[in-house]
Chains A and B, each alone.
Chain A
Amino acid sequence: MQEFLQQVVSGIASGGIFASLALALVLIYNAMGLVNFAQGEMAMFATFVAYALIENGMSYWIALPLALVLAFAGGVLIQRVVIRPVERAPVLTLVIVTLGLATLINGLAGFVFGYIPRSFPSPFSVQTVSVLGALISFRDLGVIAVSALVLVLIYLLLQRTTLGLAMRAAAHNPDASRLLGVRVSWMLALGWGLASAVGALSGIMVAPILLLEPNMMQTIIIYAFAAAVLGGIESPLGAVVGGLIVGITVNLAGAYLVGGDLQLAVAFLIIVAVLVIKPNGLFGRPSVRRV
């Protein structure tokens, strides 16, 4: 029972990481109806930037916000330079462009930082504390706290500020928003920046657990896909709930059912099962197509 509880808590911790990346996917999906296949690689690159900052003697708590700001700027830049020229193209074109972006960023990271896995510092110690007899590491608790904080901040930004309202309006009905004076294209760029920063956070949190190298996010992005699909790909709340469910399921399945090497297959199974049973996910609305 104690071990079970331990697995659940570390599942929640990884769930928080998946939820952050899934939230990044959902933000971009809502803005332009696109799954950003480069999200994981963008997060990986931002993590490398944070690593470089820390390596050069910067304290963790200065490097972290700075890396997030840089990730935000990077996201805006990518939207302006790469995505904007194909904004109106069919979704197939957009998907291919984001894939190209993923490959490009992956190669660039290998180019600049090399392929040797590096250990990434964590501000939380791996010491454990006993809760109800289960040993829970401070790192897991820290990850849970940081994810929760970010998710709440995103929620407040989108639901309680004028900027968030403008962003949602631009995504929901670009033409009407334009008539009302919202700068739609810039709102999309902000959406990309925000998604990039949230994704970067997931990378920075997962890097101490895995090792930092260019292909680090390749598996994490699959869990995030599973989380986003499970939650309903357009629902931010769904991404969080989906992330937690995927995190706990995968952790428990890895510990008790299939073994660690097939955890990824569990995520794949979740994706396929959701597509078969409930394609709109837990919180998604059924899609309506206008003729």
Chain B
Amino acid sequence: MLARVRRAPPRYWLVLVAAVLLIGLPTVVTSFQSSQWNLVLIFTIAIMGLNVLVGYSGQISLGHGAFMALGAYTTAILIARYHVNYLVTIPIAGLVTGAIGFLLGIPALRLSALYLALATFALAVVTPSLIKRPEQLTGGVQGIGLVPQEPPQFAAAAFSTVTGGTQMTSEQWLYYLSLAIAVLLFWVAWNMIRHRPGRAMRAVRDGEVAAAAFGINVAGYKTLAFGMSAFYAGVAGSLYGLATTYVSPDTFPVALSFQLLVGAVLGGLASTVGPLLGGMFVYWLPIVSSQTISDQSWIPEQISSVFVKAGPAVTYGALLILIMIFAPNGVVGLITSGYGALRKRLRGAGERGTGQMPPDPQTG
């Protein structure tokens, strides 16, 4: 037993450490910080879906921000107009968004990946103006406000036992809710990727004609991947609405779709922990950078305000280009290849040249 523990590959230890950190986090940080990390988890969920689509099926969506908007509005409308329990609205939001993604995917996915990119990009730009129209339902420009969700009895009791009598706030409860959903959705994606559908998707990504020749339903698997990633984005949007307790057309600009793509690419396409790293990065970059800049009193007000607004866009754009040119497998790819090189160096040349091809999701 002990020997097995000692021989466990480092990634198991990483998972353990990450789990302890993620579960323990709200008990040590403030309620506000929990809500920030909740948003990180929500981004992670959306990026996980995008990762399945881009990394494994080789399609690209620029409209995941719009899908998040759909999910958020589904939840908000169901709660505010029809008084549905908020927990029930989460899967409904996912299914509605997934269905719409599926429908949009059917015409676009018969063609090359470019057409899906085009159609989803147009969707992302159009969505805010579409949302404003049915004012009775969506509240128009005003949006819809929600009340914060109180934690249920069992969670509040458990939380106060662990922390020694501290009351659980709504933010902390929603963090755990998002964490549970993120783990569940991760498990689903992980299983799908390692089994038949995942293999089929990779085959489609790396050689559509060959995949079709092997009897793989190319359009079917592409649409499945797209519908599934829209489902993830819908769930993420629903949680986003619950977390911010307010949805409006401006909550979901085109930039959000880009942000999610940056997260997916930066973390590493077709990697399993990439989405979490990507989610952390795209959430914290604008906040940290704007804080650091505003704290520097020697920078004139005008310059710093422009920098706060334009800085993230410039960074995202430059990063996308640099990563695609120099490290197409993202941060995770860099770490694994660095770790591999280090281990080879430490163990000597004995294990070199095992004849294994390095995994490279980019070459197609």
Contact = CB atoms under 8 A, between A and B. Distances in A.
A265 B313 contact: no
A102 interface: yes
Contacts of A107: 310-317
Given A86-B325, A92-B58, A110 B313 contact: yes
A98 to B, nearest CB: 9
A35 interface: yes
Contact of A268 (B111, B123, B307, B317): B123
A276 B107 CA distance: 5
B317 A103 contact: yes
Given A86-B325, A218-B254, A111 B307 contact: yes
A96 B60 contact: yes
Contact of B104 (A97, A264, A272): A272
Measured as residues with beta carbon below 8 angstroms from the partner, the interface class of chain A is 35 or more
B364 interface: yes
Given A99-B261, A107-B315, A115-B306, 18 more contacts: A90-B58, A92-B60, A93-B362, A95-B117, A101-B321, A103-B255, A103-B262, A104-B316, A104-B321, A218-B125, A219-B125, A267-B126, A268-B123, A271-B122, A272-B107, A272-B119, A275-B107, A275-B119
Given A37-B121, A110-B310, A261-B133, A82 B321 contact: yes
B126 A99 contact: no
Interface in A237-288: 261-262, 264-265, 267-268, 271-272, 275-276, 279, 287
A54 interface: no
Q: Which of A100, A106, A218, A233 has the most CB of B within 10 A?
A: A100
Contacts of B133: 261-262
Contact of A100 (B122, B123, B316): B316
A166 interface: no
A222 interface: yes
A104 B313 contact: yes
Given A104-B314, A272-B107, A97 B321 contact: yes
Interface residues of chain B: helix, strand, loop or mixed (majority): helix
A96 B114 contact: no
A92 B317 contact: no
14 contacts: A35-B114, A82-B321, A97-B321, A100-B321, A103-B314, A103-B317, A103-B320, A107-B317, A110-B306, A111-B306, A225-B122, A265-B129, A268-B125, A271-B118
Contacts, number: 151
A289 interface: yes
A220 to B, nearest CB: 10
Contacts of A105: 317
B62 to A, nearest CB: 7
A108 interface: yes
Interface residues of B, number: 55
Contacts of A91: 112-114
Given A93-B362, A110-B310, A261-B132, A99 B258 contact: yes
A18 to B, nearest CB: 13
Interface of A: 34-35, 37, 82, 85-86, 89-93, 95-97, 99-108, 110-111, 114-115, 218-219, 222, 225-226, 229, 233, 261-262, 264-265, 267-268, 271-272, 275-276, 279, 287, 289, 291
B362 A89 contact: yes
Contacts of B107: 272, 275-276, 279
Secondary structure of the A contact surface, majority rule:
helix
Nearest to A25: B118
B313 A106 contact: yes
Contacts of B328: 89, 93
Contacts of B157: none
B192 interface: no
Contact of B313 (A103, A262, A264, A271): A103
A101 B322 CA distance: 10
Given A95-B114, A114-B306, A104 B121 contact: no
A97 B324 contact: yes
